[in-house]
Amino acid sequence: MTDRHLAILRGGSRDGDSTTLATGVERLYAGSDAPGLVDVYEPTGETASAPGNPEPGRVYVFVGQEPIGELAPDMLHLPPPGG
pLDDT in tens, 33-80: 888 888 999 999 999 998 888 889 999 999 999 998 777 666 665 555
Give, in order, the Cα–Cα distances in Å from 69 to each of 12, 22, 31, 40.
20, 24, 13, 14
Q: Is the pLDDT of residue 5 over 70?
A: yes
Helices vs strands, H then E, count in the chain: 0, 5
Is residue 80 domain-resident? Answer: no
Is residue 36 domain-resident? Answer: yes
Beta strand pairing status for 57-67 and 4-10?
A: parallel
Question: Of 65, 46, 40, 62, whose CA–CA distance to 6 is shortest?
Answer: 46
Is residue 49 domain-resident? Answer: yes
pLDDT of residue 9: 94
Residues of the domain holding 30: 4-75
Is residue 81 domain-resident? Answer: no
State the total domains in the chain: 1
